[in-house]
Structure 1
Amino acid sequence: MTRTRAEAAYQRALAAFKTPTLDLLHGRYAPFVIAVLSTIFTADRPSVAVSDAHVEVDEILDELRAAGYDADDRGLPSGAAREICRYWVRVGWLVPQIEEGAEVYRLSAHAVGALEITGRTGGRTRVSTSRVRTLLDAIERLSGDAESDPSRRLARLKQERDGLDREIERLEAGVTDPIDDEELLEEAENVLHLARELPADFTRVAESIKAMQRDVVTDLRRDVRPTGDVLREYLERGQHVIQSTPEGRAFAGALRLIGDPDRIDALTEDLHTLLAQPFSRLMDPAQRAELDAISRRVELGVQEVLTAQRRASHVITAQVRTHDPVRDRQVDDLLRDVMAGLHAWSGDGSPDAVVEPLRSLPAATVGHLRQSLGDIRPPGAPARLSEAADVEFAGEDTRAWGGPHYADLERYVDALGEEFDLGEAFLGTAVATRRPVDLVGLLEIAHRGAISEKDEVSIVEAIRPDGTTRRFAFGAVTARMAKENDDE
């Protein structure tokens, strides 16, 4: 069914008034909200610590109530600052974030837009030469960029060059037309009007990147494709996160103009030059401060978007690296079971029903678990090995496969003297003590004294009880053993 123009316009208006921006301006406490947000958040202070924000909101409430504004028809909100700020977060005017390990508040794009609207409404709104020229220049530039005929573009460029040449000739001849201060003031007001829209635009780009990050993580948790396919796709999205939204792509184009530090420095210098001109005395202090803060606003806006981009890339990459569809489904099922159980439990009684706390955990009923440590003897002795008919003994050869023969090795080391080379000493032992484990035992005995390593490499051959041999290579070691003095 085709809608009429009036119905379509009405539907657009309904959708517009459902946004947090117009909801803020249309709310009962809108003047208070706008006043608080514009006071706490400034161009040089885009984020405020949560605890500081609560204290400042409380102070503003006390000042306004003391001034008698609470008796106004619109009044002031009741409750503490913490509750008020939480409500603002819930309706989308404030955005809580973690910065450098601390929780802070930031204005949402809707709140920045509402502040921009009120700031523009409070000033002089008039059709000026500056605004008309800005519009005409923008249309002319758009027409030139959209022109595909090379001859027409060339004719336009030559026309611009001829105009610049005539202006240069006039200046070289000393002919100047001073511009009236009132007209310069109109130009400055137009600049301020354009600059007020930048913070909302930057915040909108950052929020679109964060929304894309949440969508990617949600889709990743639902993705059951092979891990290799998931890694390739989502890592690529994390690397090119700023190109994943229309706002991000538009910002990437604008960043080529404002992302150069030299251009920011030139902008700051131009603003300082403007503030030193005589016409700037016609501006009120608020306008002068706002004009001086433009470069800072641009710099902070770019930083906000790039920070959101880095954070989104980090989150997406971390999620992809730890992606486990089976585990994620198990966690989701567990959380759903917990929420369903909590809902069923909370639905049985009234909100003020008394809940009996769990004071102790139930004891496990394990039949063979010892209940008392009074008797440390085992409940029964194990069966004798000799009574088992299926057990075969290796006889005396079993000992040969055991650990090092420490007693034989100690007697052998005592006969070597105070200093000996470990490799040579091992090669000189009897066959019964030349097993691989005896090499370890000999090294352990050598560590009882003082050892020193040499740059050479010792290679020894060990003999196992079954006659097989193993060769070992290690850094040459010289051991010095302390001998007891027989004269003492």
Structure 2
Amino acid sequence: MGNTRAEAAYLRALAAFKTPTLDLLHGRYAPFVVAVLSVVFTPDRPTVAVSDAHAEVAEILDELRAAGYEGDDRPLPTGTAREICRYWVRVGWLAPQIDGDTEVYRLTAHAVGALEITGRTGGGRTRVSNSRVRTLLEAVERLAGSAETDPARRLARLIEERDALDAEIVRLEHGDQPPVDDEELLEEAENILHLSRELPADFTRVAESIKAMQRDVVADLRRDVRPTGEVLREYLERGQHVMQSTPEGRAFAGALRLIGDPERIDDLTEQLHSLVSRPFAQLMDAQQRDELDAIGRRVELGVQEVLTAQRRASHVITGQVRTHDPIRDRQVDDLLRDVMSGLQAWTQGAARDAPVEPVRDLPAADIGHLRQSVSDIRPPGAPAPLTDADDEAEFMDADTRAWGGPRYAELEAYVLGLGERFDLGAAFEGAGDDTRRPVDLLGLLEIAHRNGMSEGDDVSVVEALRPDGTTRRFAFGSVTARTAKESDDE
């Protein structure tokens, strides 16, 4: 016989109150927990270093105790800040993780949901407004339109929407724009705040579902005894499509098509900045205006959190698959089970203050005989020396030496025939095609600097010729150089 409606409702309520979300709100120190988590973790600070979190929780405790907030009606937890935070980790309100080289805390989806509930409860009135009802009706209308299978009805709906837009355009073209009441705009803003408060928990829930899937995949992989090739194909596929592996991930992938574009986030941020500066925004308190202005940032951080979890899960799954060794994994599992069973047997019979003898060294491997080789490790002879003969060089397509560095020998022989002094630009222009490459200009300048040169105020312009026939023009300060290096006693 099935459960009655009352029994089913009661069972659902029992399950709900066993979740960390309602457990946090129902606990004795719930006001303190909510206050601390909302102060330490903000939309712009989703993760906090463990050491910083311990220090801040301790500071908050000291401030509240100094202000007299301690007693039966306003209780504060006992113990150190570290013990308090570790307890929050055990009950599922905080999640530790490694960010780079630092261990950090982040709020779990249960903690974010609890903060949202308290924020909505203490954040002002919740009204059955025109904006909220219209949002519901529009959502139902969109759902009905998407589920409609009759093309004629869908076409009629689209024509009706187009006629309404055309009528609105005509009214605006004729200047018929009735003013919008500030109270109406305030209702719209409050509805936006109401909707946005659910986003952080949704994003965190998606990230946690991906991490849970990652843990399940790794656990399944360690228990998998199939051939390695088959395991590789399946689990690499799951790692590459990790976003499609959970219902939350698939839903987020659909939403990402709307909010994943950076331009869309920028447009949202600009629109929110503009709304905060409008006159109706002055009817909101400062906290509501800040919350409205931060919606774009909250969406951006939520998307980043989910994508980071996706990348980390893909990396972990891929790394586990690449190092998958069923025999070794079973050996490690057997060893760990032996250690745990040995520890359990020892704790049952040993006294609480019994000393534990540490393992000071590991047993050495028993190697009976090493392979020996009598071959000479020295090479049979030295390699043949390199040759400088140009006629022995072989090239596949073309002589690539033309693209090498400056031809110093040809340049120095050319400079000796230019007289006692020469202009560098004129000398380069008069050189042969083989020594008029861009690198040869640098080589000629190096020779001039070595022999002694002086710079003038004029500008020399030369045209270099590449080996492929293309040219390039260079401009530089005029240089007059000597043909040979000046002697020290000259």
Deviation (angstroms), 1:73: 2.2
| 1:229 match: secondary structure | helix
| 1:97 match: secondary structure | strand
Q: Does 1:88 align with 2:88?
A: yes
Change (3 A) 1:229 1:12: same
Distance 1:144 1:296 in 2: 32
Give the gaps of 5 or more residues in structure 2.
Answer: 367-373, 393-490
Report what 1:428 is aligned to. Answer: none
Q: Does 1:99 align with 2:89?
A: no
Deviation (angstroms), 1:71: 2.1
Answer yes or no: is the 8 Å Cα contact 1:28–1:74 preserved in 2. Answer: no
Deviations 1:4-30 (A, max 9, x none): 101100110111111100000101110
Q: How does 1:75-474 map to 2 (within 5 A)?
A: 75-122=75-122, 123-350=124-351, 352-355=352-355, 357-358=357-358, 440=381, 443=382, 454=388
RMSD: 2.5
Change (3 A) 1:85 1:360: closer
Distance 1:455 1:69 in 2: 94
Distance 1:40 1:8 in 2: 39
Deviation (angstroms), 1:279: 0.4
Report what 1:374 is aligned to. Answer: none
| 1:69 match: secondary structure | coil
Residue type matched to 1:164 in 2? L
Distance 2:22 2:107 in 1: 15
Report what 2:411 is aligned to. Answer: none
Deviations 1:184-216 (A, max 9, x none): 111101100100000000000000000000000
Deviation (angstroms), 1:273: 1.0
Answer yes or no: is the 8 Å Cα contact 1:129–1:186 preserved in 2. Answer: yes
Distance 1:149 1:106 in 2: 48
Deviations 1:291-317 (A, max 9, x none): 111000000000000000000000000
Change (3 A) 1:363 1:186: closer
Number of residue-to-residue matches in the alignment: 384
Distance 2:2 2:175 in 1: 65
Answer yes or no: is the 8 Å Cα contact 1:242–1:249 preserved in 2. Answer: yes
Find runs of 4+ consecutive structure 1 residues off by over 4 angstroms: 358-364, 401-404, 451-458
Deviation (angstroms), 1:106: 0.6
Give the gaps of 5 or more residues in structure 1.
Answer: 367-400, 405-435, 459-488
Distance 1:269 1:245 in 2: 33
Report what 2:35 is aligned to. Answer: 35
Normalised by the length of structure 1, the TM-score is 0.75
Q: Does 1:2 align with 2:10?
A: no
| 2:70 match: secondary structure | helix
Deviations 1:317-354 (A, max 9, x none): 0000110111100000000000000111111134x323
Normalised by the length of structure 2, the TM-score is 0.75
Percentage identity across paired residues of the two chains: 75
Residue type matched to 1:115 in 2? L
Residue type matched to 2:110 in 1? H
Answer yes or no: is the 8 Å Cα contact 1:43–1:297 preserved in 2. Answer: yes
Deviations 1:223-247 (A, max 9, x none): 0111111000000000000000000
Report what 1:476 is aligned to. Answer: none
> Who wins on radius of gyration, i.e. which is larger?
1
